[in-house]
Structure 1
Amino acid sequence: MAAAQTAIAYPSSLEREPLLAWLQRETDIEPNRVVAVTPQALISIVSTFPAGPGSEPRVVLRAEALNADTVTRSGAVSWHVSMSADCKGRRVRLGETTGYPGRNLLGDRAPLRPPETEWRKPDAGAALDAALRAVCEPSFKGPFEAVALKVARQDAPATASAEASMAPPTPAVAAPAKPSPVAPKPGRRMVAQIGASPSEADARALIAALGSSLGGRETWVETAQVNGKTWRRAVVGGFADGAEAARFCAGLKAAGRGCFVRVG
């Protein structure tokens, strides 16, 4: 996955004001969603799924590279990964990491790292520790909410041979990316809405995080105006009827995800 680095802008420094100006100019991430800043990447929470029966709370994390060296080593300008959180045991487990050659999760996506099979404890003060605290501690404050911006340490490797997922990922050999699905023509059919965000990139990350749970169904992001604010809705279609859509949503809700059925 190649990235056109000449078109990519990076913050002039990791000081609060230059970094905040860059964030608002180059990305669609809201400052209060940022949970950690490392020398390599800025990490934010896309969405949160509360704990359900037999399941731990889970979030989708998104990262944006902060320098050209990170892009060169990883082959990705931005990437996202799901993270399950064991608040009592202070452990995390990461899903598959997916990378993109452009800012805001734009471009052909490619898998960067397979999902982890084991739980692990993040190092104190590292990016994953901040993400865990954001999920488990109601009093947590992100870098732009605190009085002074603190740069987190890079996460230690999960094993002797693999980097932690919020560190710049090393891309895996990926199959050619499939073309992005085209939004279907409106019609009276039942669809499942799995979330909404002011950010189109975050809405697409919600869809991508479902992975094999989609079962090959078509997906798209649609724009809606609600009370004067623009929202990007993450939508799943391709159901035979409302009952099939309801079963799909029931499976997601059992895993702690949001989902409801409506007419598409």
Structure 2
Amino acid sequence: MIGDPDSLRSRALPVRTLATLAVIATLTTAFAAIAQTAPVSYPPSRSMADVTAWIRSDTPLSPSQVVDVGVSAVTAVTASTPIGEPRGFLATVSSESLDPGIEGAQGIVSWSVPVQVDCEARKVKLGAMTGYPRRDLAKDGRPVRPADTDFISPTPGAPIDTVVRGLCDRDFRRPLLPGRIVAKAPEPAKPGPRQVIVASANPAGADPQPTKAARTAARPAQAISGPAPQSGSSLVAVQVGASPDPADAKGLLARVQRRFPEDLRGRAGNVAIAQVDGRTVHRALITGFASTGEAIALCERLKAGGQACFVRR
């Protein structure tokens, strides 16, 4: 007597269940491996139209942030904060590779680095660079190179030199944005009007150090996103960047909030409009502080995490 069929079925059921679970686990692992090894996209050509479309669809960058389209990479200033004397910026520079050879040799397709720029000396000091295996500038980052200890003079024409010009030069023209007509003036010694073309973009996140008159004019800034600080809270704010484009400023604020959820718990995020040297700037602000000391402490934590910021009173 081998045994009752019902008892055989009761013993066989767990075996089938375990087999099914094993198949599911194998498939899950396989799908995860496929997802991780999915081919990384590249623009179909190096034309500005194709690169712009690719930036918008396949990367976290915005065309208005791009300062250089080179042979091997697209370079963008994704955040910047002005500093005082000498005039300069604390900025975050991010790049997306255009050369598949970089992926094959280094296992990364994008990278990000904090940069301190001295506009007067035309020098930079690079922080630690982080590389990423996908085009998200967020997951599975690993150190690529250590931070510099001293300021250096960038090689003319190199991407970091373009970053300096993009941040420091008011007439810098961004490669993925067209110029815009701002004035008409008579041609010297020739009758008739002519169009004067100037650069269309203030650097993404660039908020030049305002003059005293500009600071006074900018005080009644209008918040356009995020909750207002609670009544009775300090008027101090931590600025994490600025841009002439409100969408860029909102996107920057959202990225900072995603990167530092614990540090920003209970804080309000706002994008405020200000007039700086006759231009409209959208400032990405963290608000809701009880004191200046609280704002300073938060900014120091953000800086330790690689995010440029300063306290705005």
Q: Same fold (TM over 0.5)?
A: yes
Over 3 Å counting, the alpha-carbon distance change for 1:205 and 1:124 in structure 2 is farther
Q: Deviations over 1:141-184 (max 9, x none)?
A: 1111257xxxxxxxxxxxxxxxxxxxxxxxxxxxxxxxxxxxxx
**Residue segments in structure 2 that go unaligned for 5+ positions in a row:** 1-32, 180-229, 273-283
Whole-angstrom distance in 1 between the partners of 2:301 and 2:263: 16
Over 3 Å counting, the alpha-carbon distance change for 1:201 and 1:256 in structure 2 is closer
Q: Are 2:157 and 1:125 aligned?
A: yes
Q: Which one of the candidate residues 50, 58, 62 is aligned to 1:30?
A: 62
Q: Tell me whether 137-146 or 251-260 shows the greater mean CA deviation.
A: 251-260
Q: Is the 8 A contact 1:46 1:205 kept in 2?
A: no
Give how far 1:31 is off: 1.0
User: C-alpha root-mean-square deviation of aligned residues, in Å?
Assistant: 4.4
Q: Deviations over 1:85-138 (max 9, x none)?
A: 122222111011112222121322222111101221112222111100011101
Per the alignment, residue 72 of structure 2 pairs with 40
Whole-angstrom distance in 2 between the partners of 1:103 and 1:50: 28
Q: Which protein is bigger by CA-based radius of gyration? A: 2
SS in 1 for 2:108: coil
Q: Tell me whether 107-116 or 5-14 shows the greater mean CA deviation.
A: 5-14
Q: Is the 8 A contact 2:166 2:172 kept in 1?
A: yes
SS in 1 for 2:38: helix
Q: Are 2:96 and 1:51 aligned?
A: no
Q: Which one of the candidate residues 32, 45, 48 is aligned to 1:16?
A: 48
Give how far 1:208 is off: 10
SS in 2 for 1:57: strand
Over 3 Å counting, the alpha-carbon distance change for 1:107 and 1:249 in structure 2 is closer
Q: Deviations over 1:53-95 (max 9, x none)?
A: 5784221111111232111222222211111112222211101
Residues 25-104 of structure 1 mapped to structure 2, 5 A cutoff: 25-52=57-84, 56-104=88-136
**Higher RCO (C-alpha 8 Å, min separation 6):** 1
Return the letter of the residue paired with 1:248: A
Q: Which one of the candidate residues 253, 257, 263 is aligned to 2:309?
A: 257
Give how far 1:4 is off: 4.0
Whole-angstrom distance in 2 between the partners of 1:7 and 1:203: 30
TM-score, with structure 2 as normaliser: 0.52
Q: Is the 8 A contact 2:132 2:141 kept in 1?
A: yes
Return the letter of the residue paired with 1:81: V
Q: Deviations over 1:199-228 (max 9, x none)?
A: 79855875899xxxx9xx6568x998989x
Q: Is the 8 A contact 1:80 1:98 kept in 2?
A: yes
Where is the helix percentage greater, Structure 1 or Structure 2? 2
Whole-angstrom distance in 2 between the partners of 1:201 and 1:99: 21
Q: Is the 8 A contact 1:48 1:60 kept in 2?
A: yes
Give how far 1:234 is off: 9.1
Q: Is the 8 A contact 1:253 1:259 kept in 2?
A: no
Per the alignment, residue 158 of structure 1 pairs with none
Per the alignment, residue 148 of structure 2 pairs with 116
Per the alignment, residue 202 of structure 2 pairs with none
Q: Tell me whether 199-208 or 58-67 shows the greater mean CA deviation.
A: 199-208
Q: Which one of the candidate residues 295, 298, 302 is aligned to 1:246?
A: 295
Give how far 1:251 is off: 5.1
Whole-angstrom distance in 2 between the partners of 1:207 and 1:113: 26
Whole-angstrom distance in 2 between the partners of 1:136 and 1:14: 27
Give how far 1:42 is off: 0.7
Q: Is the 8 A contact 1:56 1:85 kept in 2?
A: yes
SS in 2 for 1:115: coil
Whole-angstrom distance in 1 between the partners of 2:312 and 2:268: 17
Whole-angstrom distance in 2 between the partners of 1:207 and 1:75: 28
TM-score, with structure 1 as normaliser: 0.60
Per the alignment, residue 4 of structure 2 pairs with none
Q: Is the 8 A contact 2:72 2:97 kept in 1?
A: yes
SS in 2 for 1:128: helix
